[in-house]
Structure 1
Amino acid sequence: MKSLRLLWIPCVLAIVLLAVWWWLGHRRPAAAANEDPAVAAMLKDPAVIAQGKYLALAGDCVSCHTAQGGQPYAGGRALPTPFGSIPAPNITPDPDTGLGRWRFDDFWRALHTGVGHDGELLYPAFSYTAFTKVTHDDALAIFAYLQSLPPVRQARQPLGLRFPYNVRSALAAWRTVYFKPGVYRPDSRQSAAWNRGAYLVQGLGHCNECHAARDLWGGVSAPAPLSGGQIPAQDWYAPDLSTQANGALHGWSAQDIVDLLKTGQSAKGVALGPMADIVANSTQHLSDDDLQAIAQYLQSLPSRPQAAVAPAAFDSKPLADRGEDIYTHRCMDCHGRNGEGVAGVYPPLDGNVSVLEPTGINAMRAVLLGGFAPVTATNARPYSMPPFAQQLNDADVAAVVSYIRQAWSNRAPLVLERDVIKYRRTPTD
């Protein structure tokens, strides 16, 4: 009988442990401690809130933290990655599903160190690898703006990562390799405008998150910042941003850069794909001074090594002839016989960054899915290019894209029918 009574001990312990486990997993977060009075006053200051709104626009926070058709900043959007999807959280001040129980210190820690409210390591889909450069005062202003928003109740979606990427503790190893926290420090050798541009590009704008190549673990592997890379899981290529020799923006003036960021269109090309969303939701709202600062910083990027274009391993003349015929009948009326385009209406194709990027992805997707410039305050009714996915087969698309990438002054690699097959699908939201 005594031995039977002893059997209750492990059973009771197991029940207690299960109860503790359930409580830890389901308990409501505790209310945040009171803010420091000085911080609390700043969070209510209309000028600080207005500055925070501007900075949130500069950081394009709304694009990730808003579901299609949803309330701004309320989350609900699943961000695609090569490892599965990561839900963007609700950052309105709802106390149960948003940031309502956060103090500024919590927000600063997340932005600066990539550690969440409850001490969890955050996935780098939240670009804290860039946001760590944001200053303390700017972070306070952004938090003040977010706290001024109407609270929206919207529970976070479940994590869609596969094993072992869904094990948060593994992020500790990733961070030791790819993350170095630190606020942006101005370069005393450069002008105030250059430093402002560097701060916006490297920090709030987090441009390198797209405009750099990534390795198998999702870390930035490009030897030089802003040297271009394929955007993971989105099937677009973010080009190199150097305006110097062999850079993708070689020949772009500061005004060309400002025009693209302000209107979505410049004399050199049009913003398409993810960049169109960035212009619509973010850069068009920046001041002229900030846009000029960004342009000045980008123009200081170094030259790039000359890329070698391997000759085709087959007789490409039939492909070029077929592509030229398609171009003549489908494209020439808008883009011109020599790819010169129509100023302010149809972008040029000769020397176009989206045409010449190394992979050919952007040109293929524009032909298949259409080219849609962003709607902006200064370009409210932009001309768009219709999709040709239903009119051209894979071989036709490969032919016309290859022709455009080799015609006039263009000297980019050919694309093949198998490449088109890979990208003949709608983009992932």
Structure 2
Amino acid sequence: MKRLRWLWMLLMLLVIVLAGGWWLTPQHRQIVVSPEDPAIAAMLKDPAVIAKGRYLATAGDCTSCHTVRGGEPYAGGRMLPTPFGNIPAPNITPDADTGIGQWNFSDFWRALHEGIGRSGEPLYPAFSYTSFTKVTRDDAIAMFAYLRSLQPVHQSNAPLQLHFPYNQRSALTGWRAVYFKAGVYQADPSKSASWNRGAYLVQGLGHCNECHAARDAWGGLSANTALSGGRIPEQDWYAPDLSMQANGGLQGWSKQDIVDVLKTGQAAKGAAVGPMADVVASSTQYLHDDDLQAIADYLLSLPARATPVPMQASFDGKSLADRGNAVYAERCADCHGKNGAGIPGVYPPLDNNTSVVEPTGINAMRVVLLGGFPPVTAGNPRPYSMPPYAQQLSDADVAAVVTYIRQAWSNHASAVQERDVATYRHTPID
């Protein structure tokens, strides 16, 4: 069935690319500048609405994608890597020529809610409208008010760097038919107000599923894999399963652990590293405590996962683990302890650590090679960091010590291979 589905999508893609380009011709992309609705225009100038929008834009972590390293906030320019090529994040400051200065709220709402650009073009889902469609209209007005309040930055948007046929926007019609359904979040009356708030933030503004779920060959997400963990395309990090129930990626975590890691970047069960450290630094540390509690309430309700398949003996995993024990004793035990328990609030535990035992081993390999750097937050302004060992340890040593920690104590994850370490050794951090 899966193969038939892919063949059908490929056929649809080719047909749309060849025959569907007509509606993106200039006459179909003519922009009509409409006056803003007077009621909305008044809201866009309301300081309280603008302040609310700032908070919501922070919750959505908009600045991370729409700000190039060292650049002006929200002025765009950052290249978002995908398996199909790179997509530049646009300038969303209110500059009239290069930003959203000529947009009205209906333009913004259509982009956020429907994934359709101001010219009527379908937007690439690197802009996570598949999640943002759940944002309410009032919240969208507040976000637009905040963006319109920013200092305009004149910075032209970079061209797309997508391969053919993915650079043909008409090809998105078939993709959207399969993977996208517009719709504002609908509260579940059987759940508490806190649960519904958490679901709204996780499913919508927080767009957590965009990283924490596996994507198929077309870059789509399946509803039955929501928040169950997945490799982040082109970044070589693994975003773990977020279930706190049996066999979930966060099994054994408490609600307070969730709040702590989102607020400070560090909890009793582990620390945020890699892309999640950036999310904490620029977004979640600023969320109100009741919103963090709401997120924890929602994650606590995620279902238990299937019992994992028992680890199969692979190549010479035991020999690797034995060698890794020696490396661990020399390089790691002083901080993380002989029993892998770490030091609370200082060095994270390795025993039953989500990043250590995730299915692929990518996170542990990258941290050993490149170091572990929790985010600097108001609640943890001087976090302890782990130095990189890329220069001190060979690929064989890294494979050995990672295999050891993935199988020591109560950990029962699979071994990793030397060839995998060689791959991730040369993967850029950002």
Distance 1:356 1:237 in 2: 11
- Residue 210 of structure 2 is matched in structure 1 by 209
Work out the CA distance in 2 between the residues paired with 1:208 and 1:175: 17
Task: Report the CA distance between 1:29 and its aligned residue.
Answer: 8.1
1:23-422 maps to which residues of 2 (within 5 A)?
32-221=33-222, 223-422=224-423
CA distance in 2, matches of 1:224, 1:325: 38
Cα deviation digits, residues 157-184 of structure 1 (max 9, x gap): 1100000110100000000000000000
Secondary structure of the structure 1 residue equivalent to 2:86: strand
Structure 2 match to 1:8? none
Q: Distance in 1 between matches of 2:38 and 2:342?
A: 59
Shift, 1:77, TM fit:
0.4
Indicate the larger mover: 150-159 or 31-40. 31-40
User: Take 2:314 and 2:383, find their aligned partners in 1: how far apart are those partners?
Assistant: 40
Deviation at 1:212, TM superposition (A): 0.2
Give yes or no for contact 1:351–1:410 (8 Å, CA) kept in 2: yes
* Higher mean C-alpha displacement, 151-160 vs 305-314: 305-314
Quote how far apart the aligned CAs of 1:312 are: 1.9
Take 1:31 and 1:164, find their aligned partners in 2: how far apart are those partners?
29
Aligned equivalents of 2:87, 2:321: Cα separation in 1: 42
Q: Larger deviation: 318-327 or 51-60?
A: 318-327
Q: Is the 8 A contact 1:214 1:222 kept in 2?
A: no
Separation (CA, whole Å) in 1 of partners of 2:37 and 2:145: 14
2:311 touches 2:413 (CA, 8 Å); kept in 1?
Answer: no
RMSD: 1.6
Q: Percent identity?
A: 73
| In structure 1, distance between residues paired with 2:392 and 2:30 | 55
Count, aligned residues: 406
Structure 2 unpaired stretches of 5+? 1-21
* Superposition deviation, residue 329 in structure 1: 0.3
Larger radius of gyration: 1
Paired residues of 1:268 and 1:347 also in contact (CA < 8 A)? yes
For the residue of structure 1 that corresponds to 2:225, the secondary structure is: coil
Read off the aligned partner of 2:90 and give its amino acid letter.
P
SS of residue matched to 1:118:
coil
**In structure 2, what is the Cα distance between the partners aligned to 1:288 and 1:261?**
10
| TM superposition shift of 1:306 | 1.1
CA distance in 2, matches of 1:261, 1:99: 31
2:264 corresponds to which letter in structure 1? T
CA distance in 1, matches of 2:423, 2:252: 32
Q: Report deviation, 1:222.
A: 6.2
Aligned to 1:424: 425
Give the CA deviation at 1:30: 5.8
Scaled by the length of structure 1, what TM-score is found? Answer: 0.93
Distance 2:429 2:77 in 1: 15
- Match of 1:37, as an amino acid? P
Matches of 2:102 and 2:175 in 1, distance apart?
29
* Partner residue, 1:15: none
Structure 1 unmatched ranges of 5 or more:
1-20
Q: In structure 2, give the amino acid aligned to 1:39.
A: I
SS in 1 for 2:279: helix
Task: State the SS of the aligned residue for 1:121.
Answer: coil
CA distance in 2, matches of 1:338, 1:259: 23
SS class of match (1:79): strand
